[in-house]
Homo-oligomer: A and B are copies of this chain.
Amino acid sequence: MLQSKIFSKTLKNAPSDEKSQNAILLIRAGFIDKLSAGIYSYLPLGLKVIKKIENIIREEMEKIGAQEILMPALHSKENWEKTGRWGIKEMFKVEDKYGLGWTHEEIITPLMKNFINNVSKLNDLAVYQIQTKFRNEPRAKSGILRTKEFIMKDLYSFHCEGSDSLENYYEKIKNVYWDIFERLKIKEKTYLTLASGGSFSKESHEFQTVTPAGEDLIYVCENCGAAINEEIKGNHNECPRCGEKRFKEEKAIEVGNIFQLHRKYSEVFGLVDSDGKPIEMGCYGMGVSRVMGAIAEIHNDEKGLIWPTSVAPFVFHILALDSSEEIKKSAQKIYNELSLIKKEALFDDRENKSAGEKLVDSDLLGIPYKIIVSKRNMEKGVVEIKDRQKGTVKFLKPMELNKFYKSKICLKNY
């Protein structure tokens, strides 16, 4: 994409009321725009990141055979009255007749009655959606980590007694989540954390990513790395996994939360197996926009964002450092070559920006590899490749570029 055409603009300053690092960086780099407290728009660069995160999640969901559906955000009041959750104050109420969904047990459970009521076998039936959710957050102050409207993946699983069990599936999903967080490059700082079950179940597991921006407090076992959320720390003097008593206190962001719902919702809505027993259910959430915020919190430096290649809006940032015809042509040629592979290149072709401004903007945007075309390099017959994360520089001859591109992107997507 040509940077001169892209609808985006880097800003010197974020709005003064933004205190969180992710919001400041994402707004300054032109990835998001703030409408009002806790409500943001995703601009072209930001939406590209969101879509890459969504696609990683979709690929991992597909691997375990979970099927994608799309449920509404506008929910009938009566379903929520049946489960006793209509009163929850975080739920936005629409003209006292509807609620805006912040989770979907009240929708998926009766929906499933049309399809699996009275079955005797289910074989890990699971459906998921990636959908916009709403939550009345009185103190939305952490950028896209905690918003009134957010994008979430929610997966629901269904199990008959004696068949593949909820417990086994729950363990399977833990592994899938680790695979996803590895691809999103937040695994290293993420801890499986025992937490309260909220209005869902007795206890649950959260995936908590440690960063000073986190609003949760977790206690990480100094021996085995299992963690406990502050909210239930009082119930656990010892690490539930290894028995150790020494913990390290950390601030963290909840990027995923998984629950064994058991029969809680199937009982209310009468979703039963062939023996008339309520079907066992599990639910597994992951915040798409929150994950984007967590990545921005973790992967940055004083110059700006540093996107992991897997979710970067573009993998390559071609900079034509001056606007002489020769440089422009040479940079354009590189851009044309990359366009053949796919749209993974942003080309800074802006004519009214200095070399310095372009380099500063590029650091702020955080695209993994700069491909710098300058007069000095051209005279030597090379282009400069700069790694945004490592800061390393190498010089490649034009004929070596193709091999370099291919080493940096996953070709199966092209």
CB contacts (< 8 Å) of A173 on chain B: these are none
Interface string of A125-143 (1 = CB under 8 A from B): 1010000101010000000
B92 contacts A7, CB within 8 Å? no
Given A44-B69, A70-B50, A76 and B39 contact (CB-CB distance below 8 Å): yes
B33 contacts A114, CB within 8 Å? yes
Q: Which single residue of chain B is at the shortest CB-CB distance from A123?
A: B5
The reply on A169 being an interface residue by CB < 8 A is no
The reply on A40 being an interface residue by CB < 8 A is yes
A100 and B72 CA atoms in complex are apart in Å by: 14
A11 to chain B, nearest CB (A): 8
A136 and B94 CA atoms in complex are apart in Å by: 10
Q: Which single residue of chain B is at the shortest CB-CB distance from A115?
A: B9
Tell me the count of chain A residues lying within 8 A, CB to CB, of chain B. 45
The reply on A95 being an interface residue by CB < 8 A is yes
The reply on A164 being an interface residue by CB < 8 A is no
From the candidates B8, B36, B41, name the one contacting A71 in the complex (CB within 8 A).
B41
B93 contacts A69, CB within 8 Å? no
Q: Which single residue of chain B is at the shortest CB-CB distance from A150?
A: B72
A115 contacts B7, CB within 8 Å? yes
CB contacts (< 8 Å) of A8 on chain B: these are 115
Interface string of A57-85 (1 = CB under 8 A from B): 00000000101111111111000000000
The reply on A146 being an interface residue by CB < 8 A is no
A6 and B116 CA atoms in complex are apart in Å by: 12
CB contacts (< 8 Å) of A94 on chain B: these are 92-94, 100
A69 contacts B47, CB within 8 Å? yes
Question: Which of A70, A92, A111, A127 has the largest count of B CB atoms less than 10 A from its CB?
Answer: A70
From the candidates B50, B67, B148, name the one contacting A44 in the complex (CB within 8 A).
B67
Q: List 15 A-B contacts (CB under 8 A).
A: A6-B67, A7-B69, A7-B125, A9-B114, A35-B76, A35-B107, A36-B76, A39-B72, A41-B107, A44-B69, A47-B69, A50-B70, A74-B92, A74-B149, A94-B100
Q: What 8 A-B pairs are tightest by C-beta distance, nearest first?
A: A42-B70, A36-B76, A41-B71, A44-B67, A74-B149, A7-B67, A39-B72, A72-B149
Please name 18 further chain A to chain B contacts, defined as beta carbons within 8 Å, in addition to the given A7-B125, A33-B114, A73-B149, sorted by A numbering: A7-B67, A7-B127, A9-B114, A11-B114, A35-B75, A35-B76, A35-B107, A36-B76, A39-B76, A43-B69, A44-B68, A47-B69, A73-B132, A74-B92, A74-B100, A74-B134, A94-B94, A94-B100
